[in-house]
Amino acid sequence: MKYGYCRVSTVGQDLKEQEDALVALGVPKANIFKEKISGVIRSDDRPQFGKLLKKIQAGDELVVMKLDRLGRSTLDILTVIQNLRGQGIAITIEGVGTIRDDMMGSLTMNLLASFAEFERALIIDRTQSGRKRAMANGVRMGRKEKLSPQAQNAIKRRYGSETGKSSSQRVWRWLEDNPKNSECSWIGMPLSKKT
């Protein structure tokens, strides 16, 4: 029996393309397990993949569109493939071929897992390079400021360079004690909130 597994990393991505390709490869639609979960989550912790592993049996075939659908780290991918091969389950990766429990399957498995990890490292490197380039061009990273520059200046004038939770508690206390103070009337934040 053929089974398929398709996965996307984020909610905004669509599983339809992978699902259609699996059906075209002869996987019955009822035997396709799909989920939207990050590949960095270990295969053991992916709910749909776990259901697939409970259903698939010796002599069956698991079809995936790409090796990285099984996992992101070499260790996780090798573990998944080794466990499936040990149970007599063939793994077919579209565009690569079928990995069976033989010498050629072992060689293919090790090469593919290494390439998958290398590709992931390249993606991370490109992302970090892009981030550094953006920061060098003045792009501010991280979440937006919750306080306006005016509010930040008012707090700095009042408390200097103090930081930490106790400082923020003192700031809120001061703001609550001085709600009509001209320095804090424009902050626009509820003064009853405490950290």
Collect all residues with Cβ–Cβ distance below 8 Å to 31 and sequence separation of at least 6: 1, 2, 3, 4
Which position among 9, 73, 167, 168 bears the catalytic label? 9
Per-residue 3-state assignment (H helix, E strand, C coil) for 66-134: CHHHCCCCHHHHHHHHHHHHHCCCEEEECCCEEECCCHHHHHHHHHHHHHHHHHHHHHHHHHHHHHHHH
161 counts as catalytic: no
Which residues are tagged catalytic? 9
